[in-house]
């Protein structure tokens, strides 16, 4: 790979990163708050590509003048000069580029959820719920209140949560949202079991908006024995996958 090819690959990679960061595609990979860093990374890659071309052309012009002077004074043809090539391993820079363009994966779904233990942690506190029913809650918020607060703030209320469907080995339906610490590589699920008026046919990875009420029923996650609270379903409606598929803030 010569310098011009290297610059072309860097430019394409940087442009792809910029496109990813500027669209919702980035939310399949990282938290919303990390998008500025992706944008900065794309800008740096594009700038590096442009700088590489500029320095190469400047070096070529300088080298040509020097070669002409040497040839004029000494008569040497300069046959010993050879263009500098980068290692062939540099072509591996194309792999992430092709991955982003050709095989951009969907957000993590039911397979990851059923093979990972719940990430539910005890909340630091429980804010009062707003007036009016149903009250819209993030799935993680509902799960924390139901599992660790005994449903104290949920009793007598109707809630609305959104997540995708996952079925365990026994066919028990869960509503799931994957949570992030940083990026999709560390995503783990929070699961809420469904009981009550559950739709008779559920397909894994279908997104549902579920309206229901608190129930004291719970089970242990078969993967890590973590708590899985349940929600008594009153109504379940299929919905499109949300713009932000991961739950990094407790909201929908």
93 pLDDT tier (thresholds 50, 70, 90): low
Residue 252 lies in a domain: no
143: domain CATH number is 2.40.50
Question: 114 and 216: one domain?
Answer: yes
Amino acid 185: pLDDT: 72
Write down which residue in 56, 77, 102 finishes a domain.
102
| Spatial contact of 165 and 208, defined as CB atoms under 8 Å apart | yes
* Domains identified in the chain, total number: 2
CB 16 within 8 A of CB 97: yes
Task: For residue 251, tell me if it sits in a domain.
Answer: no
Pick from 84, 102, 120: which residue ends a domain?
Answer: 102
Claim to verify: residue 88 and residue 116 sit in the same structural domain: no
Describe the crossing of helices 94-102 and 3-22 by its angle, rounded to 10 degrees.
Answer: 40
Evaluate if residue 252 carries a pLDDT over 70: no
pLDDT average, residue stretch 104-125: 85
138 three-state secondary structure: coil
Q: How far apart are CA 11 and CA 104, in angstroms?
A: 19
Domain that holds residue 202: 110-238
Q: What is the pLDDT of residues 33-80, one digit of tens each?
A: 777 887 888 788 888 878 877 887 777 666 554 444 444 444 444 444
Of 45, 67, 102, the residue at which a domain comes to its end is: 102
136 and 223 in a common domain = yes
Regarding whether 233 and 114 lie in a shared domain, the answer is yes
- Asked whether residue 118 falls in the same domain as residue 211, the answer is yes
C-alpha distance from residue 234 to each of 137, 167, 238 (Å):
15, 19, 14
- Average pLDDT for residues 206-218, to the nearest whole number? 96
Same-domain status, 61 and 9: yes
Task: Quote the DSSP letter at residue 247.
Answer: B
DSSP summary character for residue 183: B
Mean pLDDT taken over the chain: 80
The residues facing 32 across adjacent strands are: none
Instruction: Enter the tokens of residue 35.
Output: 């998008």
């Amino acid at each position: 790979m010569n310098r011009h090819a290297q610059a072309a690959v860097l430019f394409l990679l940087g442009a792809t990163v910029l496109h990813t960061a500027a669209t919702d595609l980035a939310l399949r990979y990282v938290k919303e708050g990390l998008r500025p860093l992706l944008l900065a990374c794309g800008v740096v890659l594009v700038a590096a590509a442009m700088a590489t071309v500029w320095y190469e052309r400047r070096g070529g012009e300088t080298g040509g003048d020097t070669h002409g002077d040497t040839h004029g004074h000494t008569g040497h043809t300069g046959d010993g000069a050879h263009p500098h090539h980068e290692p062939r391993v540099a072509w591996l820079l194309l792999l992430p580029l092709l991955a982003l363009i050709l095989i951009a994966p969907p957000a993590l779904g039911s397979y990851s959820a059923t093979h990972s233990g719940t990430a539910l942690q005890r909340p630091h506190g429980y804010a009062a719920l707003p007036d009016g029913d149903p009250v819209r809650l993030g799935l993680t918020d509902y799960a924390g209140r139901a599992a660790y607060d005994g449903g104290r703030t949920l009793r007598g209320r109707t809630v609305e949560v959104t997540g995708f469907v996952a079925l365990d080995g026994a066919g028990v339906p869960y509503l799931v949202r994957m949570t992030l610490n940083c990026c999709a590589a560390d995503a783990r699920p929070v699961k809420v079991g469904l009981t009550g008026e559950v739709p008779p046919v559920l397909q894994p990875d279908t997104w549902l908006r579920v309206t229901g009420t608190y129930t004291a029923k719970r089970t242990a996650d078969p993967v890590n024995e973590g708590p899985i609270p349940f929600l008594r379903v009153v109504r379940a409606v299929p919905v499109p996958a949300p713009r932000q598929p991961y739950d990094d803030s407790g909201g929908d």
